[in-house]
Amino acid sequence: MINYIEEVNKNVNIEEGKKTLENILITIYLKGGISTKELARNSLLPIPLVAAIKKEFIKKGLVIQDRGTRLTIKGRHFIEEGLGFKKINSDLYMRLLMEPWKEHREIIEIKEELQEVFDNRPKVDVTIDQSKSSIDTSLKRAILSLKNHDLVGKRILCLGDDDLVSIALGFLLKKLFNNTTQHTTKITVMDIDKRIIDYISNIAIKESLSIKCEYIDLRTPLADNFKNQFDCFFTDPPYTFEGMNLFLSRGIEALRRCSGLTIYFSYAHKFPDFQLTMQRYFLSMGLLVSEIIARFNTYEGASIIGNTGQMIVLKTTSLTNALIKAPYKGVLYTGELKETVRSYRCKQCGEIIKVGRSEKLDNIEMLKSKGCYKCNSQVFELIQRENRN
């Protein structure tokens, strides 16, 4: 099939990127009869530029001017077959676009379906900075990608996925396509935790989700077959500058070379000077901060970050380039920069047990798994935190 987006882009070559042209066509598909003025408002472009883009679409036979802007049969065929919207529940798609955070009946159903999946996921490994996001958070991330037209017909990458965003994406797609798998979206998960890889792979097989999992240590550069492949990516990296820069760099190399692609970057709320340094790193990689949504993410048992985190939506530009391309040999996780030893008191017998990288047990999950040395109880309370570095 002819890629009409590429064809039109040759003639208008807008600085916002080809994805903006695609989004305009999708908007016309969803809102037949839309005015040029409303198209301009939706796409954040000047009216004359939108009029020029529309003229090119008319030349290609994709749209017509008839009581507003409408798709031709040819245009509808391109959207459905070329961009993956065939047989989509357009009513649900539109409701999620207009009210993305409303508790729609279908969203409540997805949460109910996901409950067991999230309850049974592997325990967190704090040594690699894992923390479990809530079902609401993972599903909100999926809906956010729909809101930005980054879901249907796309190649999506999850860099680290102990939050099971890939599963939330898969369940949302099934609901959008009337509980079928008749869509063209492809989701790839890259993770260093084999437990996560195995768990997601098994769920994907059981639920017929289009998810492929890859065991990858991001300290090693991506293989060529993973580069320049994806339309967007999600990541919730280690909360260190080193971890942030490495995950963003590998993700940038995985994205297609195109302006306007989206990076869904989850991170803890930090103090102003820390966030200023973060944004300087974004700029050094040629990334634009498009949106910051405070308190977007909630986590289970992550009291050290107040159980919440922000969603930073980044966009690629013509200057986007990975900061780290070579093999990485430095520190990465928070425990490598600052060892924290935590003292827990057994609630049953009062025994004090320390956990940390230099202790017999690395983390509280291991302690709960083994139980108290004296009474085998698995209920503990944190009484002291000590930084040794």
Question: Tokens 């065939």 — which residue?
Answer: 86
Q: Are 299 and 246 in contact (CB under 8 A)?
A: no
Q: Which two structure tokens, joined as six digits, stand for 82?
A: 């070329």
Q: Which residues pair with 342 in a beta bridge?
A: 355, 385
What are the pLDDT digits (tens) for 203-235?
A: 999 999 999 999 999 999 999 999 999 999 999
pLDDT in tens, 329-370: 988 877 666 667 889 999 999 999 998 767 888 778 778 888
Residue 191: which of 136, 132, 237 has the closest Cα? Answer: 237
Mean pLDDT of 61-75: 95
Annotate 117-164 with DSSP letters as a single string: HHHTSPPP-GGGT--EEPHHHHHHHHHHHHHTT-STT-EEEEES-TT-
State mean pLDDT over 47-74: 95
pLDDT value at 136 more than 60:
yes
- Looking at per-residue confidence, does 347 or 302 come out higher? 347
Q: Is the pLDDT of residue 143 over 90?
A: yes
Judged against a pLDDT cut of 90, whether residue 119 lies above it is answered with: yes
pLDDT at 276 over 50: yes
| Inter-residue contact 313 to 265 (CB < 8 Å) | yes
pTM of the predicted model as reported, rounded to 2 decimal places: 0.86
Mean pLDDT of the chain: 92
Summarised one tens digit per residue, pLDDT across range 11-26 is: 887 888 899 999 999 9
Give residues with Cβ within 8 angstroms of 137, minimum separation 6.
Answer: 163, 296, 297, 298, 299
Q: Residue type for 370, please? A: K
* d(C-alpha 213, C-alpha 203), whole Å: 11
Beta-bridge mates of residue 355: 342
Determine the Cα–Cα distance for residues 171 and 138; give it in Å rounded to an integer: 11
Q: What is the pLDDT of residue 389?
A: 59
pLDDT at 74 over 70: yes
